[in-house]
Amino acid sequence: MKEKWEEYKIIFLVIVMAVTGATTALFKIGLRELPIDLFTFIRFAFALLVLLPYLWTHKSEPIPRKQKLILISAIGAANVFLFVWGLEYTTAIISGMLYASVPLITAALASLILSEKVSIKKWLGIIVGFSGVLIIILGPTLRGSSEWGGTIFGNAIIFLAVIAFCFYSVVSKKYSSEYSPIVLVKYFFFTTFIVQSAFLLFRLENFRILADIHPVTWLAVIYSGVIGTTLYYFLYQYVIKKASPVLASTAFFLQPLANILWAWLLIGEKITSIFFFGAIFIFLGMAMVFHEQYSKPKVNN
């Protein structure tokens, strides 16, 4: 029964990843009218609004060592800021493909930080997958044009966001015995929201834009906050706590495909041969890592 529930959790996370695959394209839509700082502020305002019933009913809940929670949350917040910043200089499809390297990097960090054993075959898969990431990052230079893959600057910033997300995943697992998924999510949201609010104090004129933005932009921000933030992060933290960051990150197999489909449907982005070349390396590396992880026969006690 327990094994069945583990499978259902992963299936549900995969479904959520398919649905939230639209978030990257919606970020691009939202950033057409909204500056980065205001977009992020509104996104997390809606995310916190969804958590409001929980925050009200658990307002007196004792939380040990809050400083540690804030530090963990700061790593997650760095991922948010870097991602939205980099997205201004690259495409939704490339962003999604770079995030496809999350399982590979998470496996490496889990080995270093959590002392999880990583075989030679897994390390080889990590190297192959990382080669695909480099191909995508350097794609604009290799092609002599940036129309298909944004800029090297944008792609590099997105990759830094990926690194921050992987650190956040592994560190969350390290302290998952101390904090529940909802507590980790709550502090992550609050930290991001407060820091972004501080930034906006110096750019209050940005709020004037809200009176004139298109309803589609509002829908993009609300979807990003409610579905792409609250639902996604809570489920992701839950799977990390009950299983492992590597297992939770397997859902990123689906994200590039979902990103490509949604970006094509919503904003008409295209893909090219260099993109597929890098993608082949990424998926080959993933296949090597996870074949080694899940092909071992289960031992019945």
**Distance between CA atoms of residues 141 and 135, nearest Å:** 10
Decide: 214 and 100 in contact? Cβ < 8 Å.
no
**Distance between CA atoms of residues 101 and 239, nearest Å:** 18
Reading the block at residue 223, the tokens are 């979807």
The pLDDT tens digits along the chain (301 residues) read 445 545 555 566 667 667 777 777 787 788 888 888 888 899 999 999 998 888 777 766 777 778 888 899 999 999 988 987 887 788 766 777 788 788 778 888 888 888 877 678 777 877 887 787 777 666 655 555 544 556 888 889 999 999 999 999 999 988 888 888 898 999 999 999 998 888 888 778 878 888 888 998 999 899 889 888 888 888 888 878 876 777 677 666 566 667 666 777 777 767 667 767 777 887 787 677 666 655 655 544 4
**Distance between CA atoms of residues 81 and 192, nearest Å:** 9
pLDDT at 104: 79
**Distance between CA atoms of residues 51 and 294, nearest Å:** 35
Decide: 173 and 244 in contact? Cβ < 8 Å.
yes
CB burial string 117-147: b at 16+ within 10 A, e below: ebeeebbebbebbbebbebbbbbbeeeeebe
Locate the domains of the chain by residue range. 2-103+151-271
**Distance between CA atoms of residues 160 and 269, nearest Å:** 23
pTM of the model: 0.75
**Distance between CA atoms of residues 24 and 90, nearest Å:** 11
Decide: 258 and 17 in contact? Cβ < 8 Å.
yes
Taking CA 153 as the corner, what is the angle to CA 194 and CA 81, rounded to the nearest 5 degrees? 10
The distance of Cα 169 from the centroid of its chain, to the nearest Å, equals: 10
**Distance between CA atoms of residues 282 and 125, nearest Å:** 9
Decide: 258 and 22 in contact? Cβ < 8 Å.
yes
Reading the block at residue 155, the tokens are 């792609």
Q: Where are the alpha helices (DSSP H) in the chain?
A: 2-20, 22-30, 36-57, 66-87, 92-99, 102-113, 120-137, 139-143, 152-174, 181-200, 215-225, 232-242, 245-249, 255-267, 273-294
